[in-house]
């Protein structure tokens, strides 16, 4: 059975899809659910999903309560588990990063209590696609399903990153919040903008809490970048990863950090084919601004991880149009998010495309088998 999305999640978390073709070539049947759970998709499926082509992916939906259907033998009120193939007319430039992997942006908002964290590139996509809640006529994309929809959007990542390729000060952060809220309200007037009276205070607190560690990571990345730009032979992978671990210790950057992992992946996967290499934007003439942009992307994943640990019952996605960031998230296969003391720990099980077997053993030996923090 192949299916196509018809309507977005509504105020009650409803979702409807229709078969592209029914039994024996007949008309496609329709079924709608309330607050259904959807299995996130994998790294390999994201690699195979072109951002410029309509999405075709497996769709595994469970714990859904049927609202309406014309499927024989299925009645409203039943709880069902549906396995099908989503064959959509929509592209998925904006990718929803969730626990366990990814989904097209609108599918990741299926729960009625969903919150969408958006980064700057998705803000740009939304503003260019909508005016007053109405589409501007661009190519069909899953973002179109946000049209006239009461989604809950949090734009604070935009304020945290700033627009000057450096850590914003308090005035810049305030201006970024105000600008993001204004643009979102013009583009999607029915959306609930999740920004409260203490939002600026929270952003400034996070900036100050991370300023020192951010500076150390920036300095480490600037020191290592020239060597990382050059190809690494398979014989030198172990020595190069060891030098990264040494640098992390010298700059007081945790060995278990996403930055250390991303650098190790950039070394271990040849010819710049790791999405981590592209995410770090490694190239000759590497600048402090380049490092800032890369670290801002990694910080967005760290914030997502903290939210998963601190608010395990919330349905949250990080919506991004940065494909390399999405591939890195899906490739580390993060799980088991926990709060221990004043910190957050989690496990990662990297796919071989990010850290081949030999390099994985070297990395594991360096960071030990303890949960990643």
Query: What is residue 68's predicted lDDT score, i.e. its pLDDT?
Result: 87
Widest CA span in the chain: 67
Residue 276 pLDDT level (bands cut at 50, 70, 90): very high
Contact 94, 143 (CB under 8 A): yes
Tokens 């496990």 sit on residue: 347
Contact 120, 300 (CB under 8 A): no
Contact 344, 338 (CB under 8 A): yes
In this structure, the dihedral spanned by the alpha carbons of residues 269, 273, 278 and 282, taken in order and rounded to 10 degrees, is: 60
Query: What is residue 27's predicted lDDT score, i.e. its pLDDT?
Result: 85
Query: What gap in Å lies between CA 345 and CA 38, rounded to an integer?
Result: 25
For the chain, what are the domain ranges? 213-367
Q: Which tops the pLDDT comparison, 207 or 303?
A: 303
pTM for the model stands at 0.89
End-to-end Cα distance, the chain: 42
Asked which of 7-11, 255-259, 287-291, 314-318 is least confident by mean pLDDT, the reply is: 7-11
Query: What gap in Å lies between CA 125 and CA 145, rounded to an integer?
Result: 13
Asked which of 66-70, 143-147, 214-218, 312-316 is least confident by mean pLDDT, the reply is: 143-147
For the stretch 94-128, pLDDT in tens is 899 999 999 988 777 777 678 899 999 999 989 88
Interhelix angle 170-187/120-129, rounded to 10 degrees, is 30
Residue 373 pLDDT level (bands cut at 50, 70, 90): very low
Query: What is residue 8's predicted lDDT score, i.e. its pLDDT?
Result: 45
Query: What gap in Å lies between CA 69 and CA 240, rounded to an integer?
Result: 58
Query: What is residue 200's predicted lDDT score, i.e. its pLDDT?
Result: 66
- Vertex 332 angle, CA 326 and 334, to 5°: 100
| Mean pLDDT estimate for the chain | 86
Look at residue 370 and tell me whether its pLDDT is greater than 60: no
Q: In 273-354, which ranges are continuous DSSP H helix?
A: 275-279, 288-310, 323-332
Look at residue 92 and tell me whether its pLDDT is greater than 60: yes
Query: What is residue 222's predicted lDDT score, i.e. its pLDDT?
Result: 96
Q: Which tops the pLDDT comparison, 223 or 139?
A: 223
Q: Where are the beta strands (DSSP E) in the chain?
A: 2-7, 14-19, 30-34, 37-38, 56-69, 79-87, 95-98, 101-104, 115-118, 130-131, 134-135, 152-154, 192-193, 316-320, 335-340, 343-347
Look at residue 11 and tell me whether its pLDDT is greater than 60: no
For the stretch 321-347, pLDDT in tens is 999 999 999 999 999 999 888 788 899
For the stretch 12-57, pLDDT in tens is 457 777 777 888 888 888 888 777 888 999 999 999 988 888 888 8
Q: Fill in the DSSP letter of residue 22.
A: -
64: three-class secondary structure by DSSP: strand
Query: What is residue 28's predicted lDDT score, i.e. its pLDDT?
Result: 86
Asked which of 1-15, 43-57, 74-88 is least confident by mean pLDDT, the reply is: 1-15
Q: In 230-273, which ranges are continuous DSSP H helix?
A: 237-250, 258-268
Asked which of 166-175, 208-217, 313-322, 362-371 is least confident by mean pLDDT, the reply is: 362-371
* 301-to-118, 306, 310, 339 alpha-carbon distances in Å: 12, 9, 14, 16
* 265-to-37, 75, 165, 196 alpha-carbon distances in Å: 32, 50, 24, 38
């Amino acid at each position: 059975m192949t299916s196509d999305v018809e309507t977005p999640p509504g105020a009650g978390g409803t979702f409807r899809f229709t078969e592209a073709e029914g039994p024996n070539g007949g008309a496609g049947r329709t079924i709608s659910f309330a607050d259904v759970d959807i299995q996130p998709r994998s790294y390999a499926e994201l690699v195979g999903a072109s951002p410029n082509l309509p999405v075709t992916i497996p769709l595994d939906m469970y714990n859904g309560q049927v609202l309406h259907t014309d499927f024989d033998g299925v009645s409203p009120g039943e709880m069902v588990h549906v396995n099908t193939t989503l064959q959509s007319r929509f592209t998925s430039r904006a990718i929803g990063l969730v626990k366990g992997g990814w989904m097209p942006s609108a599918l990741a908002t299926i729960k009625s209590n969903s919150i969408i964290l958006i980064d700057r590139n998705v803000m740009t996509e939304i503003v260019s696609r909508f005016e007053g809640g109405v589409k501007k006529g661009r190519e069909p994309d899953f973002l179109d399903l946000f049209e006239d929809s009461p989604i809950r959007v949090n734009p604070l990542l935009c304020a945290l990153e700033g627009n000057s390729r450096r850590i914003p000060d308090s005035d810049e952060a305030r201006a970024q919040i105000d600008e993001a809220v204004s643009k979102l309200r013009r583009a999607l007037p029915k959306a609930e903008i999740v920004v409260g009276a203490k939002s600026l205070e929270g952003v400034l607190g996070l900036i100050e809490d991370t300023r020192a560690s951010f500076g150390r990571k920036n300095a480490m990345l600037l020191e290592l970048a020239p060597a990382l730009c050059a190809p690494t032979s398979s014989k030198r992978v172990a020595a190069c990863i060891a030098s990264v671990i040494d640098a992390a210790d010298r700059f007081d950057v945790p060995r278990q950090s996403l930055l250390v992992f991303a650098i190790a992946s950039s070394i271990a996967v040849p010819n710049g084919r790791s999405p981590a290499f592209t995410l770090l934007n490694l190239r000759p003439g590497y600048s402090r601004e380049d490092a800032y942009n890369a670290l801002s992307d990694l910080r967005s994943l760290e914030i997502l991880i903290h939210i998963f640990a601190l608010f395990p019952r919330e349905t949250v996605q990080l919506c991004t149009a940065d494909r390399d960031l999405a591939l890195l998230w899906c490739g580390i296969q993060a799980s088991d998010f926990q709060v221990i003391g004043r910190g957050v720990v989690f496990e990662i099980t990297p796919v071989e495309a990010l850290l081949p077997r030999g390099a994985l053993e070297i990395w594991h030996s360096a960071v030990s088998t303890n949960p990643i923090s």
